[in-house]
Amino acid sequence: MAVVQESSPEKPVAVEKLPGYAVFDDFRYSQRIAVMVRWVILGAWLFLLNYRNPDINKLVTLNGLGMTLAALNGYVHWRIWRGRPVSRGYVIALSSMDLVVITVGIAVTTGFANTYFVFYYPALLGIPLVFSSRRLSFLVTGIVAIAYAAISIFLEPGVDVDEREEAVLITRIVIMFGVVMAANIMARIERTMRREAVAAERERSHENLELQRKAQAAEIAALSERSRIAREIHDGVAQSIYMLSLNLETAVELAAKKHEDLPKRLDSLVSLSKSTLLEVRHYIYDLKPYLEGEQSMEHMLENIIREFRTVAGVDTALETKGEERHVPISVATALYRLTQEVLANAFKHAEASKVSVGLEFLPDGLRLTVHDDGRGFNVEESIPGHDLTNMRQRTEELEGKYTIESAPGQGTHVSVWLPT
């Protein structure tokens, strides 16, 4: 008869937090330079505008626009300084104010003859920062170019065709588009680099979270293993040592009385002492050589079998199949403990004279099989001390499959499959 158990443990959910530069709707990083450049240009523009300018009416209008732009730029600068996000709306407002102030300043002063047109070039650099689309950037630049061309042609003193000033106007407009095109290319490169940085940061974040998850899982597994070993020592080794001491006291009393039951009592003590020694050696011997890569899975099982053969005196052989590969620590630990427990049962309860152990490396996992020629038992009945519950729990924790077949007088066959 067979018993198969399965379970599906819950998987932890990782929470990822991206760095500030990964938020593409926050323009703080690009506006740090833009704000400082705007302060320099705005200061130069206001100085040149007010220096020896007798036209008070025009100064009031232009200074008012300049102060409005300064207030908006100061607010954005404050947000950057305080570490607050700068949204697309702020950048659009600033860039629009830049172009409006320059255009109005040219229109109300000397038009085409005004040299303030050079301020267009740094102002237009902000357009690609707002619009990643080249078409939208060129559309805004086209509107600005049309406004500047209209001011230059229709407002005094106008464009002097005889002096070939139309070529100068065209050159200025072409430079506007050239500046925007260059800025658009640089902005695209910057965005691509940011995306690559975000992807790399996200990958590192996933790796760190996975390492933390594995470390936590290993710590939980270690605590669970310590608790289990402490419980098993209390229920198994401690009880065996206690029974051994009681039997030794009884043997001493029988020897003093020269009782005829003494040889039989001593013979039972030999079996009990071997069983106790086997359990103690199981807890002393650990997985350190395997975990450090000093030995293979096959060699690890050979060590267990050698220990079992030495202590129990039972003929035991190991057969491996498939190509060996390194398996997760949790699987190696479970396989190690399961092999110990099955062999211990074969000695303590089955009274077997021969045990066969098989290890098969499958594409999707490992299969451990242990067969003994002992007296067997009824798997439907609860047999005290067989540790079947522990073995079933170990298998369930790793979503494996556990099967035991046995019948009185027909030996026992245990099969465990663990996924890798």
The mean-pLDDT minimum among 143-152, 199-208, 244-253, 304-313 falls in 244-253
Whole-angstrom Cα distance, residue 248 to residue 188?
A: 86
pLDDT band at 414 (very low <50, low <70, confident <90, very high): very high
| pLDDT tens digit sequence for 254-277 | 676 776 677 766 766 666 676 666
Asked if 200 and 312 sit in the same domain, the reply is: no
End of a domain among 158, 183, 210?
A: 210
Asked, for residue 42, whether it belongs to a domain, the answer is yes
Kindly state whether residue 249 falls inside one of the protein's structural domains. no
Question: Which whole number is the average pLDDT over 83-109?
Answer: 85
Residue 286, token pair as written in the block: 């650990």
pLDDT at 384 over 60: no
Q: Is residue 320 part of a domain?
A: yes
Mean pLDDT of 353-372: 92
Spatial contact of 5 and 401, defined as CB atoms under 8 Å apart: yes
- Of the candidates 171, 192, 210, which is a domain's last residue? 210
Q: State the average pLDDT over residues 302-320.
A: 84
Q: Which of 94-98, 150-154, 239-243 has the lowest mean pLDDT?
A: 239-243
List the strands of the sheet with 412-419, edge to edge. 315-321, 354-362, 365-372, 412-419, 401-406
In-domain check, residue 390: yes
Residue 315 per-residue DSSP state: E
Same domain for 59 and 191 = yes
| Residue 246: inside a domain | no
306 to 102, 300, 302: CA distances (angstroms) = 91, 10, 6
Identify whether 408 is part of a domain. yes
Residue whose tokens read 């805004």? 140
Please give the helix or strand (H or E) that residue 414 lies within, else none.
strand 412-419
Over the range 320-344, which residues count as b (16 or more CB within 10 Å of their CB) and which as e? beeeeeebeebbbbbbbbbbbbbbb
Determine the average pLDDT of the residues in 386-401. Answer: 81
399 φ/ψ angles, rounded to the nearest 5 degrees: 60, 35
- Show the domain range for 36: 20-210
The per-residue pLDDT for 164 is: 83
Structure tokens at 234: 């209390």
Please provide residue 356's backbone torsions phi and psi, each rounded to the nearest 5 degrees.
-115, 130
- The whole-number pLDDT of residue 12 equals 41
Longest Cα–Cα distance of the chain, Å, equals 142
Q: How many domains does the chain have?
A: 2
Q: At what angle do helices 165-232 and 329-348 cross, to 10 degrees?
A: 10
pTM exceeds cut of 0.85: no
Q: Beta partners for 415?
A: 369, 403
Asked, for residue 221, whether it belongs to a domain, the answer is no
- For 19-67, write each residue's pLDDT tens digit: 444 445 667 777 888 888 888 888 887 887 787 777 777 778 778 888 8
Domain boundary among 154, 185, 210: 210
The total number of residues shown for the chain amounts to 420
pLDDT range class, residue 142, cuts 50, 70, 90: very high
